[in-house]
Amino acid sequence: MAVGVFDSGLGGLTVLDAVSKRLPDVPFVYFGDNKHAPYGVRDADDIYNLTCAATERLWDAGCNLVILACNTASAAALRRMQESWVPRDKRVLGVFVPLIEALTERRWGDNSPPREVAVKHVALFATPATVRSRAFQRELAFRAIGVDVEAQACGGLVDAIEEGDMILAEALVRSHVDALKRKMPEPQAAILGCTHYPLMEEVFQDALGPDVSVYSQASLVAESLADYLKRHPTMIGSGTESMFLTTGDPRRVSDRATQFLRRKITFTAA
Q: Is 265 helix (H, G, I), strand (E, B) or coil?
A: coil
Question: Whole-angstrom Cα distance, residue 236 to residue 67?
Answer: 12
Amino acid letter for position 68 = L
Q: Are 17 and 219 in contact (CB under 8 A)?
A: no
- Judged by DSSP in three states, 248 sits in coil
pLDDT reported for residue 139:
84
Return the bridge partners of 32, or none.
7, 246
What pLDDT does residue 219 have? Answer: 85
Residues of the chain with pLDDT under 50: none
Question: Do 2-95+218-269 and 98-217 share a fold?
Answer: yes
Confidence (pLDDT) at 108? 63
Catalytic residue annotation: 70, 194
Q: What is the pTM of this model?
A: 0.87
The residues spanned by each domain of the chain are 2-95+218-269, 98-217
What CATH architecture applies to the domain 98-217?
Answer: 3-Layer(aba) Sandwich (3.40)
Residues 6+ apart with CB under 8 A from 92: 55, 65, 66, 68, 78, 81, 82, 86
Q: DSSP H helical segments within 122-240, as ranges?
A: 128-133, 135-143, 157-162, 166-183, 201-208, 217-231
Contact 254, 267 (CB under 8 A): yes
Is 34:48 a contact under the CB 8 Å cutoff? no
**The pLDDT of residue 257:** 93
| Amino acid making up residue 156 | G
- DSSP 3-state assignment of 128? helix
pLDDT of residue 86: 96
pLDDT given at position 246: 98
Contacts of 55 (CB under 8 A, 6+ apart): 4, 6, 66, 81, 92
For 2-95+218-269, CATH number?
Answer: 3.40.50.1860
Spatial neighbors of 87 by CB under 8 A, at least 6 apart, are none
pLDDT, tens only, 35-79: 998 898 899 999 999 999 999 999 999 999 999 999 899 989 999
